[in-house]
Amino acid sequence: MVFPIKTTLFLVLNLAVLTLIGYLLFLLIKALRKYLRSETSRKEKSESPKYLGDVLKKHRSACRMTQEFVAETVGVSRQAISKWESGLTDPSTSNLMALAKLFGVTPEELLKETQQKN
């Protein structure tokens, strides 16, 4: 039984497309499995802020406050809050105490959440 060239070409192209789709599914499943296995390390990383700015941002976000609101309450500019959260500068002691009071924690708790810079 002889197949016409068009039919043979069509079958070969379909087989190539199916193979490509199968390989892409394999890669997708492999990537998803790796992502799911890394959940604990992603969770640990998100839960352990390294710097004071990360801690301040975490508390501000948890309290659902904007940088503008925090700035007005503490008596500084919004840019100052942004610089503190990005780690460019650190708040003064009095500002740290005001932030802690605003977030409902002690200043010591804010500082204990930070880790030493390596």
Which pair of tokens denotes residue 83? 């610089």
The answer, yes or no, to whether residue 108 has pLDDT greater than 70, is yes
* Cα R_g (the chain), whole angstroms: 27
pLDDT band at 116 (very low <50, low <70, confident <90, very high): very low
Position 89 pLDDT exceeds 50 = yes
Dihedral, CA of residue 56, residue 82, residue 86 and residue 102, to nearest 10: -10
**Per-residue model confidence (pLDDT) at position 60:** 96
Q: What is the pTM of this model?
A: 0.57
| Pairwise pLDDT comparison (6 vs 48), residue with the higher score | 6
User: In the structure, what pLDDT confidence band is assigned to residue 20 with cuts at 50, 70 and 90?
Assistant: very high
